[in-house]
């Protein structure tokens, strides 16, 4: 099914009409709409999980957990709306004695208007119709039009219907949430004059194409894309000596989680040469199971990606997991050396979506740093070291390369919290913002300042009575009720 241009225009018109209602809704009202959507999804979990498992083959346990994550995101953003600091309310009182004289200025963030959201294949709930992009855009006070992912169309349609009905029943306006389907409709959506921002999770090629469309509009809009990431890991000799077996087991569990289809999969792991880590990883990897991948396109791309890496003369196979059924992916561990990575990063550091990781041997700190600097921007960077290790230079590179730096555990698994950051330098994302956690709301807000405005014409949150109950900054001083 493909949404026609006429149908898109109808949906966009409804979203445009709903935008000022969402933007003007008070905190209690907007929060109640978000919680109504969460409650409806929880009430339909059995039905939704059954549809999702049929379309994605991710399994009931994983999918039930993902519904919980999705409804948890909606409820988190309800609390964000109620807490109020996302407005970034700022007041400078008038000062006629200043040079030059200062007018009264009151600043806030407000919703940008209707937002386009592009669903991801690998998280059919949490990064899809009612996922984090949608939750944060609604929380910011914006209607949403979602482009369904072709990998789970029936789930997308049913999820959209449930959420739209729940929002309407809670009193939200018509046009609060809509769904479009088809590649052409997605291209038209990001170019539609009603749309004021877009969120995307998917491939580098697909995201770059949409990014260019958004930037090439007569009125360019921000495009917040999460596109690709190899998520480098650095392991020191001391860490392997102290806990090599546990690290090897953790790596295998992480790169095979969800059949290697997590955007935070550790794809490139720098390990000291001669430390025996390859053998430790092989011991666990040979017993690791693969499985079917999400879509036919991903299934076809995985062996091609492996072949691309293996074609480099420096690359060898360390281990393979348990044999997979026809059409499924078998886990693979590959290895190379730091000199090859530094010389051919465009080949060896290309993301391969699926259960594969590349071990990169280094023989010195200089060799490690040279190769690590060649790593493209990533969502995460992980450092496994011991207290006496000198790792300041490595950490400095990881901080520049990644949006989240880990010192324990593995990057798969992204907690939805106030302080989470799920983003990173290009090509991980097209911006500096996060798509997970409370501050994801910032993507779909814009600042506006009112100068010498009469009290009666100010937005309610900028009036003194409201400021007394909300976090704000006045004349440079932070005030928290």
> Annotated active-site positions, please?
226, 263
Assign 293 to helix, strand or coil. Answer: coil
Closest CA to 358 of 344, 339, 380, 337: 337
| CA gap 409, 368 in Å, rounded | 21
Closest CA to 200 of 282, 285, 134: 134
Beta bridge partners of 473: 90, 478
Helical residues (DSSP H) of 257-391, grouped into ranges: 277-285, 296-310, 338-343, 345-348, 365-372
Assign 326 to helix, strand or coil. Answer: coil
| CA gap 315, 285 in Å, rounded | 17
CB 115 within 8 A of CB 144: yes
Q: Which residue has the tokens 């894309």?
A: 225
CB contact set of 438 (below 8 Å; sequence gap of 6+): 76, 77, 80, 86, 417, 418, 419, 420
- First-last CA distance in the chain: 51
Q: Which residue has the tokens 């000198």?
A: 390
Helical residues (DSSP H) of 200-276, grouped into ranges: 204-215, 237-256
CB contact set of 153 (below 8 Å; sequence gap of 6+): 1, 55, 181
Strands 316-320 and 328-329: unpaired
| CA gap 403, 50 in Å, rounded | 35
CB contact set of 176 (below 8 Å; sequence gap of 6+): 15, 18, 22, 33, 138, 143, 144, 164, 167, 168
CB 405 within 8 A of CB 399: yes
CB contact set of 254 (below 8 Å; sequence gap of 6+): 265, 266, 410, 411, 412
Per-residue buried b or exposed e for 162-185, using 16+ beta carbons within 10 Å of the residue's own CB: bbbebbbebebbebbbbbbbbeeb
| CA gap 249, 471 in Å, rounded | 46
Burial of 52 by CB count in 10 Å (0-12 exposed, 13-18 middle, 19+ buried)?
buried
How big is the chain, counted in residues?
Answer: 481
């Amino acid at each position: 099914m493909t949404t026609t241009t006429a149908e898109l225009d109808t949906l966009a018109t409804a979203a445009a009409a709903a935008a000022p209602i969402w933007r003007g809704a008070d905190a209690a009202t907007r929060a109640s709409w978000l919680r109504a959507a969460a409650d409806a999804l929880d009430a339909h979990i059995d039905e939704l999980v059954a549809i999702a498992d049929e379309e994605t083959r991710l399994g009931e346990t994983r999918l039930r957990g993902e519904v919980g994550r999705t409804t948890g995101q909606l409820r988190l953003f309800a609390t964000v709306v109620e807490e109020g600091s996302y407005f970034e309310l700022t007041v400078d009182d008038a000062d006629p004695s200043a040079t030059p004289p200062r007018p009264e200025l009151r600043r806030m963030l407000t919703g940008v208007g209707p937002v386009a959201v592009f669903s991801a294949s690998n998280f059919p709930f949490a990064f899809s119709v009612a996922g984090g992009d949608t939750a944060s855009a609604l929380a910011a006070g914006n209607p949403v039009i979602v482009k369904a992912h072709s990998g789970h169309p029936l789930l997308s349609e049913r999820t959209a219907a449930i959420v739209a009905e729940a929002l309407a029943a809670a009193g939200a306006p018509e046009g609060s949430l809509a769904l479009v389907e088809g590649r052409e409709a997605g291209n038209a959506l990001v170019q539609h004059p009603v749309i004021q921002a877009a969120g995307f999770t998917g491939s580098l090629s697909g995201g770059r194409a949409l990014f260019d469309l958004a930037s090439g509009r007569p009125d360019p809009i921000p495009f917040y894309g999460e596109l690709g990431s190899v998520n480098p890991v650095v392991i020191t000799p001391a860490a392997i000596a102290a806990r090599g077996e546990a690290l090897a087991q953790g790596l295998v569990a992480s790169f095979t989680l969800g059949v290697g289809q997590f955007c935070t999969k550790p794809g490139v792991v720098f390990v000291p040469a001669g430390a025996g880590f390859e053998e430790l990883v092989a011991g666990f990897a040979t017993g690791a199971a693969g499985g079917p991948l999400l879509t036919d396109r991903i299934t076809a791309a995985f062996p091609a990606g492996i072949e691309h890496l293996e074609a480099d003369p420096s690359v060898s196979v360390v281990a393979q997991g348990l044999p997979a059924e026809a059409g499924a992916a078998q886990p693979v561990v590959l290895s190379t050396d730091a000199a090859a990575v530094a010389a051919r990063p465009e080949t060896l550091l290309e993301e391969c979506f699926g259960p594969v990781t590349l071990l990169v041997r280094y023989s010195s700190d200089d060799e490690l740093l040279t190769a690590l600097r060649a790593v493209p921007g990533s969502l995460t960077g992980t450092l496994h070291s011991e207290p006496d290790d000198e790792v300041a230079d490595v950490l400095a590179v990881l901080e520049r390369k990644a949006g989240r730096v880990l010192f324990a555990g593995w990057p798969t698994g992204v907690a939805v919290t106030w302080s989470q950051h799920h983003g990173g330098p290009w090509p991980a994302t097209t911006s500096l913002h996060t798509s997970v956690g409370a501050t994801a709301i910032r993507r779909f807000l814009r600042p506006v300042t009112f100068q010498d405005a009469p009290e009666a014409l100010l937005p309610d949150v900028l009036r003194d009575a409201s400021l007394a109950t909300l976090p704000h900054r006045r004349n440079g001083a932070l005030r928290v009720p």
